[in-house]
Homo-oligomer: A and B are copies of this chain.
Amino acid sequence: MADKRYRIGEFSKLVGLSTYTLRYYEDQGLILSQRDDNGVRYYVEEDIRWVGFILHLKGTGMQLNDLKRYVKLRAEGDTTIAERRQLLQRVKDNAEAEIAEQQMHLKVLGHKIDWYDGKTAHTIDDSESFHDYLQRFQD
């Protein structure tokens, strides 16, 4: 159970990445795989967690380049922990800034939808443009 081996096809379904992508990531140094006596790749439980973690990082918007750098640092051992932390912090700050921006844009989009609703329900004067309407929400 602890040493169940997954070949690439099975693993692919497990982690939700195509076999192409798995080989590509391995090529890029993001993933390691072991090989059986015939040279066929296999993965173990720990690899599922590792890919899962990578996907969390990717999901924050971290790019392959940074991911590669992170993995390289990791391979260099404990001396690079500070640098890794810093890299992740930068990624986190970036992601948070992007989200904040998106939310700002979403706010306007929300107002536009409300404006449509107001026009449809005639609770907003016909003569009021969206631009004028928006002014109401400038803090």
On whether A56 and B116 interact (CB within 8 A), knowing A92-B110, A110-B92, A131-B49, the answer reads no
Residues of B within 8 Å of A95, CB to CB, are 102, 106, 109
Q: Which residue of B lies closest to A49 (CB)?
A: B131
Cβ of A112 and Cβ of B88 under 8 Å apart? yes
- The CA of A59 and the CA of B41, in the complex, are separated in Å by 42
Closest chain B residue to A84, Cβ basis: B116
Q: A88-125 toward B: CB 8 Å interface, digit per residue (1/0)?
A: 11011001100101111110111011001101100000
Within 8 Å CB of A88, what residues of B? 109, 112-113, 116
Say what secondary structure dominates the interface of chain A. helix
Contact of A92 among B60, B85, B106, B120 (CB under 8 A): B106
Given the complex, which residues of B lie within 8 Å of A55, measured CB to CB? 105
Indicate if A61 sits at the interface (CB-CB under 8 A).
yes
Task: Given A49-B131, A105-B57, decide whether A85 and B113 contact each other with a Cβ distance below 8 A.
Answer: yes
Tell me, yes or no, whether A81 is within 8 Å of chain B by CB: yes
Q: Could you tell me the distance between the alpha carbons of A56 and B112 in the complex, rounded to whole angstroms?
A: 11
Note all chain B residues with C-beta closer than 8 A to A131. 49
Q: What separation, in Å, do the CA atoms of A58 and B61 have in the docked complex? A: 17
Least CB distance, A19 to chain B, in whole angstroms: 24
